[in-house]
Structure 1
Amino acid sequence: MIGFVLVRSGDNVVRELAEGKDVAVDGAALLWEHIEQASDADISLKIQRTDIPAVVFAALVASETRPRCDQIEDGALINLRGPAALPAPDGDRLVSIRAWVHGDRVISVSRRGLAATSQVATAMKAGAISDCGDLVAAFSQSISNGLDPQVASLGDDVDDCESELEAGNIYQLRRRIATIRSQAIAFRRFIAPNRDALLTLAGLRVDWLADDDRLHIREAADRFSRMAEELEAIRERAALLHEQLTDLRAELVDQRSLMIAIVAFIFLPLTFITGLLGMNVQGIPFANQPWAFWGVVAFCNVVGLIVLGWFGMRHWLGR
C-alpha cells in the first residue's frame, strides 16, 4: 500500500505526517489523506471513520467507478479519471481518483498510480494549494493538462494515416486505423463524464469552493469538452478512412481481376488453336511442312494482337 498525509497549518506551513500516525490534526487549514495501490481490506480499514457517510464509504472502496460528482450535505464526492503514472497494457488507459471533500479535509483513493497525484502533492508542498477548493481545482487542471497532448497525438496519427492513404501506402493501415479508433473510444468513455462531473462540481453551493476555484474548474471542464469533440471527430475521420481504405482495396482487387480476365481472354482462342492443332490424329494440315510451326506461332500472334486491339477499342485496358 502506498499513501501519504499532507497537512497545511494556518501559517501556510505544509508537512507530511509519518506513516501510521493519527491524522486527526487540530487547527489544520487543510488535511489531505491519500491512499493508493491498497487492497480492499486496507482501504476499508484506512477510511472507516464515523464522520464518513455510508454512501461515501461505499463509493471510495468500489472496484469499478465512473466519473461523477455528488453533493452530500456540505461535502462532495468526486470521481475523476486521468492518465496513469505508469502504463499498464492489461488495464484501463485512464486511472480513477475518488475523493471525499468535507470542510478542511480531503480523503482520496486510487487503485493505481495517477500521474496528477504527484503533481498536486508537489504543488501543495510548494504552498500553491491552501484549501480544499484549490486542491480539487488543481486535480481537475492537472488531469485535463495530462490528457490534452494524448488526445492531440491521436489526431496527429489520423493525419499521418490520411497522408499515407493519399500516397497509396495502404498496407498495414487497417490495423493502425483500428487501433486509433479503439483508443479514441477508450478515451471518450471517460472524458465526457469527466466534463460533466466538473461542471457539476463548479455549480456546487459549498463554502470551501471559492469563485477562482470555480473558474479553474470550468476552464478544465471546457478543455474536456474540446477533447470530447476532438475525439468524436477522430472517430468519424477514422471511420471515413476505413471506408476509403476498404473501397481502395476493392478497387485494386477489381483492377487485378480485370487484368487476369483480359489475359485469360487473350489466351482463350490461342489455347483453342494450339489444342486443335495438337490433336494426335491424321489429317492435320501442313503437318509435314518445315515452316508449319512458325506459321502457327505467327497466326497465334496475329490473333492475340487482334484481341488486344479489340480490348483497346473498348477502353478496357486503362481501367
Structure 2
Amino acid sequence: MDGVSQWRIDKAGQGKPIDLGAKGLAGLDVSPPGFVWVHVDCGRQGAQHWLEGIGLEPLVQRALLAPETRPRCSVHGDGVLMNLRGVNLNPGDEVEDMVSLRMWITEQLVVTVQMRRLMAVSDVQDAVARGQGPDGAAELVARLALRLADRAEPVVAGLNEKVDVLEDQVIEGLSSMSRRNLGDIRRVSIMLRRHMAPQRDALSTFEIEDLPWVRMHDRSRLREATERMTRLAEELDAIRDRAQVVHDQIMDTRAEAMNRQMLVLSVVAAIFLPLGLITGLLGINVGGMPGANYGGAFWIVTAGLVVLGLMLFWIFWKMGWLGRN
C-alpha cells in the first residue's frame, strides 16, 4: 500500500517489512518478541481509507484522523494516545506551520499517522532499515521525539542568529531594515513556542505514566527528549524576549531622532518668533511709524534684526538646546 509502512521490529532493533493484509490488526501475530510499527502517510491517496479498515477502536481512529491536533498524551486502556509536532521542512512551506504526528502506542503495536511529510519519521525509518531500530514501543516514541528535537534545533539556532544580526543593525543605526525582519522572527518564535511547551508536557506525562511495558531505559530516553523540548521552549522564550528588546531599542532610537528634530524646529521657531513680531509691527499701515521718511531706516531695522537673531542663537546655544552638553 502506497503511503503505509509496516515493520516488525525485534528486541535487537532489527526491522522486517510485513503486510497486515486484508485482516488488518485482527490477523496481527504478536507472539514473537518485539513489536509492530505501522506508519501511515494520509497525504498519499488511499492511505486514510486503509487506516480506517484495519480494525482500530473508533476512539483511537478518530484521534488519529482528527483534522486539528495539539500535543497531548492520554492513556486509553492498555495503550496511549499521543500527539507531537515537528517543524515543517517541506519545500515551499512555512517552517512554523508545524506538522502533527499522531500515535497510538501499546506494548506490541505502534501506529503513527502524519498528514504531511515529516522528516523526523523518515530518519527513524532509515535507522530501522539499517537494522538499528528501537527495541521497544516506548523506545520508538523516545526516538521520534528526539528526532523531532534534532530537526527543530537548527531552526531555533537560525532564529538566534537572525536576532544577533538585528541587534548589530540596531547598533549601526539600520532600524528600518530591522523593523522589516523583526516581525517575522517574533511571529515564528511565538508559533513554535505554542507547540513546544505542550509537547514537553506530553512527553513528561508519558514518562511518568505507570505503564508496565515502559522500562527504566525508556523513561531515561523520554526524560532526555523532555529536557530537549524544554530547552528549545526556553530558547524560543529568550528569542521572543530579545526580539522585544530590539523592538524597544528601535522605538527608542526613532523617538530620540524625532525629539532632536522637534528641538531644532522649536529653536528655529523661537528665534524667528520675535523677529516676525517686530517685522509685523513695522508693516502695519498706520500713521506715525518711526523712520518712515528716513532712507536708511530699512538698513537700521535689518541690522537690528540680525543682531537680535544672533543674540537669541547665542542664548539657546548657552542653554544647550543646539547640541552643547
Do they superpose with TM above 0.5? yes
**Partners of 2:88 and 2:94 within 8 A in 1:** no
In structure 1, the partner of 2:113 is 109
In structure 1, the partner of 2:3 is 3
Structure 2 CA distance for aligned equivalents of residues 253 and 12 of structure 1: 66
Partner amino acid for 1:256? Q
For structure 1, the residue ranges without an aligned partner over 5 or more in a row are: none
The equivalences for 1:114-133 within 5 A come to 114-129=118-133, 130-133=135-138
In structure 1, the partner of 2:211 is 206
In structure 1, the partner of 2:15 is 14
The alignment of Structure 1 onto Structure 2 pairs a total of residues equal to: 317
Partner amino acid for 2:190? I
Are 2:101 and 1:97 equivalent residues in the alignment? yes
Structure 1 CA distance for aligned equivalents of residues 306 and 2 of structure 2: 83
2:81 to 77, 82, 85: 77
In structure 1, the partner of 2:69 is 65
Are 2:144 and 1:139 equivalent residues in the alignment? yes
Q: TM-score, normalised by structure 2?
A: 0.84
Deviations 1:17-62 (A, max 9, x none): 5897776554664332222244898525424443x33321111011
Structure 2 CA distance for aligned equivalents of residues 172 and 41 of structure 1: 48
What is the CA distance between 1:113 and its match in structure 2? 1.4
In structure 2, the partner of 1:238 is 243
Q: State percent identity of aligned pairs.
A: 36
**Partners of 1:87 and 1:93 within 8 A in 2:** no
**Residue 188 of structure 2 aligns to a residue in which SS?**
helix
**Partners of 2:275 and 2:305 within 8 A in 1:** yes
**Residue 110 of structure 2 aligns to a residue in which SS?**
strand
In structure 1, the partner of 2:308 is 303
Structure 2 CA distance for aligned equivalents of residues 267 and 288 of structure 1: 26
Worse-superposed segment, 126-135 or 112-121: 126-135
Partner amino acid for 2:132? A
**Partners of 1:161 and 1:177 within 8 A in 2:** yes
Q: TM-score, normalised by structure 1?
A: 0.85
Q: 1:137 to 1:5 in 2, by over 3 A?
A: same
**Residue 31 of structure 1 aligns to a residue in which SS?**
strand
**Residue 111 of structure 2 aligns to a residue in which SS?**
strand
Are 2:172 and 1:167 equivalent residues in the alignment? yes
Partner amino acid for 1:211? M
In structure 1, the partner of 2:291 is 285
1:56 to 47, 57, 60: 60
Are 2:252 and 1:251 equivalent residues in the alignment? no
Worse-superposed segment, 202-211 or 94-103: 202-211
Partner amino acid for 2:61? F
RMSD across aligned C-alpha pairs, in angstroms? 3.1
Q: 1:280 to 1:56 in 2, by over 3 A?
A: same
Worse-superposed segment, 92-101 or 37-46: 37-46
Deviations 1:119-167 (A, max 9, x none): 1111111111143233212101100111122222222322332332233
**Partners of 1:6 and 1:14 within 8 A in 2:** no
The equivalences for 1:9-48 within 5 A come to 10=10, 14-16=15-17, 24=27, 26=29, 29-38=34-43, 43=48, 45-48=50-53
**Partners of 2:41 and 2:47 within 8 A in 1:** no
For structure 2, the residue ranges without an aligned partner over 5 or more in a row are: none
**Partners of 1:3 and 1:36 within 8 A in 2:** yes
Structure 1 CA distance for aligned equivalents of residues 304 and 50 of structure 2: 96
In structure 2, the partner of 1:229 is 234
